[in-house]
Structure 1
């Protein structure tokens, strides 16, 4: 009996060790809780675990923003995955912008894995009838908000297209946009987020609104990527909306081994279609976007080669 018990104990220990060895734990740093990007992180973690049969387990960590995500590269290890716009990673490597005077050799070790939904510009006006071009902003009282990418980009567009003096900018926080629109305090608002954006859904569900489209020439002038919001994403939206977006990518570093990066990238694309069926924002992610990713992790590059997905030179 004693011999049998000892053997069972040893066998259980071996099995536990094998299970622990088979499971790779990762940390995914994304955004503040309550945001669409944090919800995406949760969906992604669940999808990756399912696609890898539990071999890849991601813990989602709250973040104060992309700058923090990039900064933490300096102190993180092989398990670290984070999201950020590629332009911000480039700024870290150049020591410019928010990274001025804070450069680090670790920034040069950042590598791309796969794209996630873009930070998409939304121009929302009250009323379903009327013009749907940016000219419709003229003479309107518009809420831009303060400090966010959407506010900065919206202000830039007004200046770029000679509309700064033709629009009244409301002095309020973007969090008040939907209530202010309902009460007639503003005529519209500008916001940036993955679509469908919760505040735009709320606005469209409570009253008739329309989203404005940009021309290809206007998009080219902004220097941002062209993004199409498909028809019927929002209540009352009959056609596609053409606008701009800031690409966002899931990154890691060269510290992550090739096999883990390969399995993670494969798991993401295996689950993308299923995730898109549950959350429409994943519909905006396609293999075509991979060609724009620079400095791919070798493990991710191996997956794309096997899958026949075009990558950057």
Structure 2
């Protein structure tokens, strides 16, 4: 009897092991299961992507990419509206999204637990996939204000964006490169549109705006008010890049805004794709490859700024192993 029972149990155990092995061969399609893909195949994946407000550039840009990649590869990038950079990083940390687009300065703050993330602490649950396009640090003043350099902002009434925003930290860092603190200006915390309106009405002398150029609020302002964009000279640009690894040099072309008749040198941060470290190497390799090898077909103006060189420069947070593998394969990094 005992022998028969042992045989029966052995047979049950063998069938159980075979069943588990068969189940284990199936590719994971659930984002929470890791989205493992076979080499060269993205059709089985479903990636939740955090962007920004539903009327913003992040949301529209990522929807364009999602549509084309689904057509080309079968990949499903599930685009979600969100509170933008900081919220996206927290959502990756909490497992709500697998991928996001964020400013590269904000992801630096998160990775190191500084500035916007000083109260949260360092978050290491994400890696870089690649940079996409520039978000330009623009300093706007009236044409007749006499403000020609950043140094001229000392003692002036200056809007530095919403309190606690990435723009406010950009302003603090740029002013700091010139030896100016917030105590040296009459600091105002206004949104882009409110800043433009206040400048037009003479309530402030200048404002900072970090966004893709041209920026609607500045474009509209320039049609009714003479403006200047304040340049960041080479010496202070170099200092900013030395002090902060996420700034890139940027030239706002003449004609970007009404009355801006010459190129203006400034700095920019980068709209950058990041991914959860829970995604496996093959998935992120295929995703990186698909995103950048189809860049010429995206029907969005920001896609014109995409390049492999741009994707890998001024990045201070480590690349995901899958992205790193792709960039090494194409010679973008060594």
Give the TM-score band, short-chain normalised.
0.7 to 0.9
Partner of 1:69: 88
Q: How does 1:222-233 map to 2 (within 5 A)?
A: 222=240, 223-224=243-244, 225-231=247-253, 232-233=255-256
Aligned with residue 287 of structure 1, among 298, 302, 308: 308
Question: What's the secondary structure of 2:292's corresponding residue?
Answer: helix
Indicate yes or no: 2:221 matched with 1:203.
yes
Distance verdict in 2 for CA 1:24–1:212, change over 3 Å: same
Deviates more, 1:234-243 or 1:138-147: 138-147
Question: Deviation string for 1:84-107 (max 9, x for gaps)?
Answer: 345554555555566568669xx5
CA-CA distance at 1:256 after TM superposition: 2.0
In the alignment, the residues of structure 2 paired with residue 146 and residue 103 of structure 1 have an alpha-carbon distance, to the nearest angstrom, of 22
Gaps in structure 2 of 5+ consecutive residues: 1-41
Question: What's the secondary structure of 1:76's corresponding residue?
Answer: coil
Aligned with residue 239 of structure 1, among 241, 262, 265: 262
Partner of 2:168: 151
Question: Deviation string for 1:217-276 (max 9, x for gaps)?
Answer: 21233334233134133333333322123344211133323333223212222343444x
Does the 8 Å contact 2:51/2:58 carry over to 1?
Answer: yes
Partner of 2:138: 122
Does the 8 Å contact 2:47/2:98 carry over to 1?
Answer: yes
- Which of these two proteins has the greater Rg computed from alpha carbons? 2
In the alignment, the residues of structure 1 paired with residue 66 and residue 231 of structure 2 have an alpha-carbon distance, to the nearest angstrom, of 34
Partner of 1:272: 295
Indicate yes or no: 2:195 matched with 1:177.
yes
In the alignment, the residues of structure 2 paired with residue 144 and residue 95 of structure 1 have an alpha-carbon distance, to the nearest angstrom, of 22
Distance verdict in 2 for CA 1:103–1:141, change over 3 Å: closer
Per the normalisation by structure 1, the TM-score is: 0.74
CA-CA distance at 1:64 after TM superposition: 1.8
Aligned with residue 35 of structure 1, among 33, 56, 60: 56
Partner of 2:235: 217
In the alignment, the residues of structure 1 paired with residue 89 and residue 314 of structure 2 have an alpha-carbon distance, to the nearest angstrom, of 19
Does the 8 Å contact 1:146/1:152 carry over to 2?
Answer: no
Does the 8 Å contact 1:144/1:151 carry over to 2?
Answer: yes
Does the 8 Å contact 2:136/2:250 carry over to 1?
Answer: no
Partner of 2:325: 302
Distance verdict in 2 for CA 1:137–1:33, change over 3 Å: same
Aligned with residue 77 of structure 2, among 41, 44, 58: 58
Per the normalisation by structure 2, the TM-score is: 0.70
Does the 8 Å contact 1:261/1:297 carry over to 2?
Answer: yes
In the alignment, the residues of structure 2 paired with residue 102 and residue 182 of structure 1 have an alpha-carbon distance, to the nearest angstrom, of 38
RMSD of Structure 2 on Structure 1 (CA): 3.5
Q: How does 1:10-49 map to 2 (within 5 A)?
A: 22-49=43-70
Gaps in structure 1 of 5+ consecutive residues: 1-20
In the alignment, the residues of structure 1 paired with residue 189 and residue 250 of structure 2 have an alpha-carbon distance, to the nearest angstrom, of 29
